[in-house]
Amino acid sequence: MEIKISTFDALLSRVTKPARYIDGEWNAVHKDTASARARFALVYPDVYEVGMSHLGLQILYHVLNSAPDFAAERAFAPWPDMEEELRSRDLPLTSLESRTPLREFDAIGITLPYELTYTNVLNVLDLAGIPVRASERGADDPIVIGGGPGAANPEPMADFFDAILVGEGEEAIVEMAEAVAEAERHEALERLAEIPGVYVPCLYEVSYEGGGPRASVTPRDGAPQVIERRIVEDLDAAPFPTEQIVPFLDTVHARGTLEIMRGCARGCRFCQAGATYRPRRERRVETLLRQAEETLASTGYDEISLLAFTSVDYREIQELAKQLVDRFGERGIGLALPSLRADAFSIALANTIQRVRKTGLTFAPEAGTARLRRAIGKQMGEDELFAAAEAAFSSGWTRLKLYFMIGLPTETDDDVAAIGDLVQRVVQFGRGVLGSRRSRLQIAVSAATFVPKPHTPFQWGGQDGREDLERKHAILQRALRGRHIKLSWTDPGTSALEAAVSRGDRRVGGAIEAAWRGGARFDSWGEHFDFGRWEQAFRGAALSMADYANSYLDYDAPLAWEHVSCGPERSALREEAERAITGGKL
């Protein structure tokens, strides 16, 4: 069935940003779903303007709708006011394109972008009228499939998904659609389990060894022992949406996007994405120029973003930048580099690319001392940072953003204080270079909290507790005073939850469900996050959040995520950890 237009439209005048819930954006696809062999609802578990900035969603939407036998529509997590309207009228959550209730699709594909979106996943399923636990679904329920960065450790959400794709989805999504199209639920799950990279949690048994993520996951019924992540070998030949959907309202990234490369060779020891997206793969300049032309022609955007972990690592970045600027600069098309190294080459490149309009520049020293940067594998020296700052200020930039982490393994209070010293020296340096323009100088300092992530060398390490983090925040506040500096940091409660779920086992799913039933929604939004609610949820599940977030794990302990292979072998990770930290445990 479809929800009557008059019924749905009556809700729009009662909610904020009604454009989040209406159809008809430029380049949205409307297929005859009645003739499709498999119909997918692709869900991003956050509001529309966040989800529509996620390139992965647009790629899967493009891949499925390009196949003649399949169809895909979109849905997003409704804001609390829309949720209230739906629940008060007993209306189900629907897709955007046809307003079809999600439970009438053959499959629901849900992105797992970030641990603090997980309660939204459960809320979307419940609003759709789909049992949140996979074990409670019947033959008439759609198959619920997860994927995205959160699949690197699928265990906290394993009880809520029928299948989870580990790795990249451009090729696997078509294979999964075939499995869904050809069989009823039970047989479809068996076929999904045969697809490389697909994890079907109900085919695995879990045993635990005490508190925290010390768990073993064992297959049964012929399921694979280890789930090997899927990767797209030839990125240049991979499908890419140049007819990108143009939203009706401002999104987080309101511009066209070109993915110039995938993967990173930098090897920062705290970075999960750098580990799980290897190897580095690139698109050819000719391919990117064609994609840029098609994207601009089909969207009307006046800016193109070059997407990569570190865009200046793209081997032909100078040639690409020159050709893009030569071709589109006179048309007023701006180019953005979201990720730069702190070096003079990056500034020279930014000067070339941002000839049309200058925005701020962002660098990530991560730590305040050379010793700590070496320990975490960050390849940046102070000389590079100051050379980059000089080149930036001399070229007309007056705004820099500097990213740091606190709570890193082996960090001392002196390392934290050194962040303040480094930033103050950048300020003084900038005032000298800018001269009469010094009043415009702005240095934004962001201090994120270290989160130990699976599949990294620091996966065995614990996060600092709240007391330690608050002491370090106080050190930063004292050290980073001045009208040219703006300091921000992540809330210790959200960081603790992210760490606990990131290293969670299947038992943590019980805490996630309890928090959701207790009202948790949009936990990544500060105005909605309630740490006390989460503490209560963990206690109600007979779990300790500290066991998952703050505990130090033995190198030989079984880890809840080791049945998933995302790249580096355990031995290699341990070797890297021991290089970073000596003297026993992390």
Work out the average pLDDT over 508-532.
97
Evaluate whether 21 touches 15 at the Cβ level (below 8 Å): yes
Pull the structure tokens for residue 126.
């419940």
User: Looking at residue 4, what is its pLDDT?
Assistant: 54
494 burial via Cβ count (<10 Å: 0-12, 13-18, 19+): buried
Q: Which of 495, 497, 491 is nearest to 538 (CA)?
A: 497
Work out the average pLDDT over 437-457.
95
φ, ψ for residue 362 (rounded to 5)? -125, 130
Evaluate whether 442 touches 484 at the Cβ level (below 8 Å): yes
User: Looking at residue 358, what is its pLDDT?
Assistant: 54
Taking every pair of C-alpha atoms in the chain, what is the biggest distance, in angstroms?
Answer: 73
Q: What is the mean pLDDT of the chain?
A: 92
User: Looking at residue 578, what is its pLDDT?
Assistant: 92
Same domain, 413 and 484: yes
Same domain, 327 and 214: no
Pull the structure tokens for residue 299.
């969207």
Pull the structure tokens for residue 98.
């046809």
Question: What band does 337 get if pLDDT is binned at 50, 70 and 90?
Answer: confident
Pull the structure tokens for residue 576.
């890297």
- Residue 360 inside a domain? The answer is yes
Place of tokens 């696997």: 172
**Does the pLDDT at position 227 exceed 80?**
yes
Same domain, 168 and 309: no
Calpha distance 254→248 (Å, rounded) = 10
Calpha distance 157→113 (Å, rounded) = 12
Task: State percent of the chain over pLDDT 70.
Answer: 96
User: Looking at residue 6, what is its pLDDT?
Assistant: 63
**Does the pLDDT at position 356 exceed 50?**
no
Evaluate whether 107 touches 178 at the Cβ level (below 8 Å): no
Calpha distance 548→215 (Å, rounded) = 12
User: Looking at residue 3, what is its pLDDT?
Assistant: 55
Strand 303-307 and strand 334-336: pairing? Answer: parallel
Q: Which of 352, 416, 340, 415 is nearest to 385 (CA)?
A: 340
Out of 172, 203, 228, pick the residue that ends a domain.
Answer: 228
Work out the average pLDDT over 390-399.
87
Pull the structure tokens for residue 258.
């070109």
Any idea what the Cα angle at residue 454 is, between residues 453 and 455, rounded to 5°? 120
Q: Name the amino acid, one letter, at 279.
A: P
- Residue 543 inside a domain? The answer is no
Q: Name the amino acid, one letter, at 261.
A: M
Per-residue pLDDT tens over the stretch 252-298:
778 899 999 999 878 899 999 888 888 999 999 999 999 999 999 99
- Residue 547 inside a domain? The answer is no
Q: Which of 428, 356, 423, 340 is nearest to 388 (CA)?
A: 340
- Residue 264 inside a domain? The answer is yes
The gap from C-alpha 100 to its chain's centroid, in whole angstroms, comes to 28
Q: Which of 352, 455, 470 is nearest to 413 (CA)?
A: 470
Evaluate whether 302 touches 332 at the Cβ level (below 8 Å): yes
The sign of the CA dihedral 553, 557, 558, 562 is positive
Cβ count near 79 (within 10 Å): 20
Work out the average pLDDT over 539-547.
97
Same domain, 199 and 247: no
User: Looking at residue 585, what is its pLDDT?
Assistant: 43
Pull the structure tokens for residue 3.
């929800």
Q: Which of 433, 434, 460, 463 is nearest to 450 (CA)?
A: 463
- Residue 552 inside a domain? The answer is no
Calpha distance 342→386 (Å, rounded) = 8
CA-derived radius of gyration, the chain: 24
Evaluate whether 112 touches 147 at the Cβ level (below 8 Å): yes
Same domain, 249 and 182: no
Question: What band does 360 get if pLDDT is binned at 50, 70 and 90?
Answer: low
**Does the pLDDT at position 474 exceed 90?**
yes
H helix intervals, 317-455: 317-328, 344-353, 370-376, 382-394, 413-434
Q: Which of 142, 135, 126, 120 is nearest to 40 (CA)?
A: 142
Question: What band does 14 get if pLDDT is binned at 50, 70 and 90?
Answer: very high
Same domain, 212 and 281: no
Calpha distance 44→75 (Å, rounded) = 7
Q: In Å, how far are 46, 161, 233, 361, 511 from 124, measured between CA atoms?
A: 10, 13, 33, 37, 17
Calpha distance 539→552 (Å, rounded) = 20
User: Looking at residue 299, what is its pLDDT?
Assistant: 94
Strand 261-262 and strand 281-282: pairing? Answer: antiparallel
Same domain, 194 and 262: no
Same domain, 266 and 196: no
Question: What band does 207 get if pLDDT is binned at 50, 70 and 90?
Answer: very high
Out of 211, 228, 245, pick the residue that ends a domain.
Answer: 228
Question: What band does 583 get if pLDDT is binned at 50, 70 and 90?
Answer: very low
Q: How many domains does the chain have?
A: 2
**Does the pLDDT at position 355 exceed 60?**
no
Question: What band does 131 get if pLDDT is binned at 50, 70 and 90?
Answer: very high
Q: In Å, how far are 33, 41, 107 from 72, measured between CA atoms?
A: 8, 6, 10
**Does the pLDDT at position 359 exceed 70?**
no
User: The domain that contains 320 carries what CATH number?
Assistant: 3.20.20.70
H helix intervals, 183-329: 185-193, 272-276, 285-299, 317-328
Count, residues in the chain: 586
User: Looking at residue 8, what is its pLDDT?
Assistant: 77
User: Looking at residue 252, what is its pLDDT?
Assistant: 78
**Does the pLDDT at position 543 exceed 80?**
yes
User: Looking at residue 550, what is its pLDDT?
Assistant: 96
224 burial via Cβ count (<10 Å: 0-12, 13-18, 19+): middle
- Residue 508 inside a domain? The answer is no
Calpha distance 585→550 (Å, rounded) = 13
* Stretch among 227-241, 258-272, 330-344, 389-403 having the lowest mean pLDDT: 330-344
* Stretch among 23-37, 223-237, 491-505 having the lowest mean pLDDT: 23-37
Same domain, 306 and 407: yes
Question: What band does 354 get if pLDDT is binned at 50, 70 and 90?
Answer: low
User: Looking at residue 336, what is its pLDDT?
Assistant: 80
The gap from C-alpha 67 to its chain's centroid, in whole angstroms, comes to 27
**Does the pLDDT at position 357 exceed 60?**
no
Task: State percent of the chain over pLDDT 90.
Answer: 76
Calpha distance 27→243 (Å, rounded) = 6
- Residue 291 inside a domain? The answer is yes
* Stretch among 87-91, 95-99, 194-198, 383-387 having the lowest mean pLDDT: 383-387
Same domain, 214 and 250: no
Same domain, 316 and 461: yes
**Does the pLDDT at position 230 exceed 80?**
yes
Long-range contacts of 17-22 (CB under 8 A, 24+ apart): 17/47, 17/48, 17/49, 17/79, 17/249, 19/48, 19/247, 19/248, 19/249, 20/47, 20/48, 20/49, 20/76, 20/78, 20/79, 20/82, 20/249, 21/48, 21/78, 21/82, 21/96, 22/96, 22/248
User: The domain that contains 182 carries what CATH number?
Assistant: 3.40.50.280
Evaluate whether 354 touches 328 at the Cβ level (below 8 Å): no
- Residue 556 inside a domain? The answer is no
Work out the average pLDDT over 51-73.
96
Specify the pTM: 0.94
Out of 228, 249, 284, pick the residue that ends a domain.
Answer: 228
Residue range(s) defining the domain that contains residue 219: 5-228
User: Looking at residue 64, what is its pLDDT?
Assistant: 98
Per-residue pLDDT tens over the stretch 139-187:
999 999 999 999 999 999 999 999 999 999 999 999 999 999 999 999 9
Strand 198-199 and strand 399-406: pairing? Answer: unpaired
User: Looking at residue 245, what is its pLDDT?
Assistant: 95
**Does the pLDDT at position 120 exceed 70?**
yes
Same domain, 165 and 255: no
Place of tokens 């009823």: 184
Calpha distance 311→308 (Å, rounded) = 5
Question: What band does 33 get if pLDDT is binned at 50, 70 and 90?
Answer: confident
**Does the pLDDT at position 215 exceed 80?**
yes
Work out the average pLDDT over 307-314.
86
Q: Which of 523, 555, 406, 468 is nearest to 118 (CA)?
A: 523
